[in-house]
Amino acid sequence: MITIKEIAKELGMSTTTVSNVIHKKTGEVSPATVEKVEEALKEYNYIPNMSARNLAQNESKIIGVAMRAREDKYDNALNDPFSGALIGGIEKSLRYTGYYMMIYISDDVSELAKHISLWNADGLILLGILGEEWKEIKKHYAKPTVFIDSYFDNSLKQLVNVGLQDRKGAYDMTKYLISCGHRRIAFMADNCIGVDEERFNGFVQALQEAGIAFDREKDFLFHIPAREERQKSYARICDRCREYTAVFCASDYYAVNLMNELENRGIRVPEQLSIVGFDDNYYASAHRPALTTVHQDPEYKGELAVQQLIRMIQGEELEENRILLPTEVIIRDTVKVINR
């Protein structure tokens, strides 16, 4: 691996000149020299040493992508269409910017914080992080940061976030269910914070506007995804389903799993029970019956996050620090129209 110094010696010039040519600061260098240096660079196949460059410039050209992943839910965090598409979108946008992506995934926020500061990343994209958790990270990291799909209280309104109109999406879908004649509708999720909370809020709002009662204790089907609990949890939920005409699942992933569990128990969708999801990933469209769901574009989310981050790194002003992408109700085959 040849170094600048060696090339300089070979050519009988100083490292500064070589460095200047490399960085195209050619205003400072005579054309003849430029050419000579460039030839040598080619010939010896010069590759810069990033560590040295980073050390000297105190920047790293690394973008950290840190993902908080619940271990009970994911043992393989990328093996999920949403994360896959999202990280893929980030990677794709980063590819030609001269920045390199380093991924950290952990259940443990302080673990994430450690990794982030180790590499002195020039920017950070944070997935699945709550406001409280951010405070832990902030202690160690002060450079440009973009959140994806985070919700904060007002004290953190200045943070940059790329998210989704979760509430509106759920609201629209719920109105659709109601318009199909459904009035006994359950909500299924494995938590009620952040994104899922917003979806739940939209759901409840639509019910309220339609004058439909919702009993949070009874009608919120709380799923437990941990491996040992999973089957029992589905069994319980499938049992409870008989009391409803429709179930709004907070994600396609659960909608499809639930449908399969229902099928195993001989409960037909949508004839006996309507199901809707959220996300519109390929689970939704590949499943039969195809899932009626709320569409979003995670890849685009990733791309936008990168755009915002790069702007921040370059010191540009952001037009908006809180982007909420629109959603769309996709009607497929899992909702039955009920005659009243």
Partner DNA sequence: CTGAAAGCGCTAACAC
Partner DNA sequence: GTGTTAGCGCTTTCAG
Residue 102 within binding range of its own copies, rule CB under 8 A: yes
User: Considering the complex, what minimum distance in angstroms separates the CB of residue 13 from its own copies?
Assistant: 24
| Least distance to DNA, CB of residue 98, Å | 12
* Tokens 């759920």 found at: 170
Partners of residue 246 on adjacent β-strands: 185, 274
Residue 142 touching DNA (CB under 7 A): no
Among residue numbers 246 through 275, which ones bind its own copies (CB under 8 A)? 256, 260
DSSP class of residue 306? H
For DNA, which residue of 45, 57, 76, 79 counts as binding (CB under 7 A)? 57
Residues 211-250, one symbol each (x = binds DNA by CB under 7 A, - = not), give: ----------------------------------------
Binding flag, residue 77, its own copies (CB under 8 A): yes
Helices 81-94 and 298-313 cross at an angle (nearest 10°) of 40
Query: Cα(249)–Cα(12) distance, rounded to whole angstroms?
Result: 70
Cα distance from N-terminal residue to C-terminal residue, the chain:
77
Q: Does 85 bind its own copies (CB under 8 A)?
A: yes
**Which of the listed partners (its own copies, DNA, none) does 87 bind, with a CB threshold of 5 to 8 Å by partner kind?**
its own copies
Among 24, 27, 31, 79, contact with its own copies (rule: CB under 8 A): 79
Least Cα distance to 66 among 29, 111, 100 occurs for 111
- Contact call for residue 314 and DNA (CB under 7 A): no
Which residues fall within 8 angstroms of residue 70, CB to CB, at 6 or more apart? 107, 225
Per CB under 7 A, the list member of 48, 227, 320, 333 interacting with DNA is 48
DSSP for 73-140 reads: T-SSTTSSHHHHHHHHHHHHHHTTTT-EEEEEEES-HHHHHHHHHHTT-SEEEEES--HHHHHHHHTT
State the residues that interact with DNA by CB under 7 A: 1, 3-5, 12-17, 19-20, 22-23, 27-33, 46, 48-49, 52-53, 55-58
